[in-house]
Amino acid sequence: MAYYYAEPSRTFNEYLLVPGYSSSECIPANTSLKTPVAKFKRGEEAPLCMNIPLVSAVMQSVSDDRMAIALAKEGGISFVYASQPIERQASMVKKVKDYKAGFVTSDSNLRPDQTLADILELKARTGHSTVAVTDDGTQNGKLIGIVTGRDYRVTRMDRNTRIDMFMTPIDKIIYALEGTSLKEANNIIWDHKLNTLPILSDEGRLVALVFRKDYTSNKENLLELTDSFKRYVVGAGINTRDYRERVPALVGAGADILCIDSSEGFTEWQKTTLRYIRGAYGDAVKVGAGNIVDREGFLFLAEAGADFVKVGIGGGSICITRETKGIGRGQATAVIEVAQARDEYFQKTGIYVPICSDGGIVHDYHIVLALAMGGDFCMLGRYFARFDESPSNKVSVGGNYMKEYWGEGSLRARNWQRYDMGDPAGELSFEEGVDSYVPYAGNLHDNLGVTLHKIRSTMCNCGALTVAEFQKKAKITQVSSLSIIEGGAHDVYLKDNAGASATK
């Protein structure tokens, strides 16, 4: 007879935090969101920590080198997606490790023989107003000119006008040569009142761009996450098929931590993959595993050698695993049980294995609940897909800007390795993810700042200044359907931009 759980599995929506005593020192400015990412022994420091408890998902539409740089600046880790050729993924990892803060690789480039229409299409897709004009239209071509919003007027120009007819040509551009320090570049920007300073090689090829706006941004990134060589920390996804080739390439490129990207982690394939990494690299290479939703799954991966364990099946906004296969568990219930198993394992073995809550996050307060319930950090997909830094296209849908967002189990991603069940055909038999849009939200820095402030503020409401203290002091209550309604705006007439609405 099948085993039946006595209690239903529950979501984050079904819980609230109850405030605790807050001292005068308990203010957001005094909080620390530092959290461990890799396992450690009792009495020792974790070999790898983050300054914020957030990582971006191992997804084509979320995590590439640009997202990894942006998130590392904020104190988190991005796991570069694995559903691509090994060489390309390793190249993305290397770009992050080679990145010099303030020196931006141009990803908006066109040829001089292209037109204003191409400028407008590129701007709509990327959101970038500065376009480098190179001889071959590549990011490292010979710089011919620069186009900004000041160089053209859409209402007065034919869209077929060639770029070289209105761009600012190279002979009128102030630039610096490769080898210029960031301090020197910023001095040139301020001395000449520039918004953008191109960095060129001796042959005149574009190496990077330095922006005036990034000067302030760099001063604000007090939590940036770097390794011992002051390079940004970056993660990378792997699968249970080509790990013997992919892992060495990623380690060689400088990946700080790996993550087995799979919809279900309680498998022999994950154990075999972990055994290979431990045999080849010992504990030098950090690797997370998952996903699981119960005590048994956690203990299996902890014993197999995982540095962290990912919790959650079927809770992602683009995941339809529960619909197609009837497999999964409410995210809150899964996190609660796995956190208890982690604590028991720590008491028994003296080894603390961090857990990552992956999925089920709709509102910012769900992140806070995941942490209070024992999660060490959260993996987010939809959240990060909305920003400029995600690799997907920005498109206009019904007059509103959207970002494309698709699941790794969708036919668009064709990531059959993630859903590997040993099928030699190596293909998706059916979809476990959808292709969708999410509302465009702007840049990562500003949006993430609001989210982190909410987390810190809630921790203070509960009388905690660190994540560990928060988990000890948090008081959590289950809520009824009526109390959920009570928690939102009700029994009032809401205002909107068009005037008072008639909705209660």
SS3 280: helix
> Which residue is catalytic, options 66, 329, 418, 456?
418
- Do residues 368 and 378 touch, judged by C-beta distance below 8 A? no
Residues 6+ apart with CB under 8 A from 228: none
Q: For residue 434, what are its two tokens?
A: 């959808």
SS3 502: coil
Alpha carbon distance 57, 383 (integer Å) = 10
Alpha carbon distance 327, 116 (integer Å) = 51
The values of phi and psi at residue 28, to 5°, are -50, -35
Alpha carbon distance 486, 382 (integer Å) = 27
418 is catalytic: yes
- Do residues 107 and 82 touch, judged by C-beta distance below 8 A? no
> Which residue is catalytic, options 49, 66, 246, 319?
319
> Among positive and negative, which fits the CA dihedral 105, 382, 50, 273?
negative
Alpha carbon distance 19, 24 (integer Å) = 15
SS3 332: helix
The values of phi and psi at residue 216, to 5°, are -65, -40
Q: Which amino acid is residue 480, in one-letter code? A: S
Catalytic residues: 319, 418
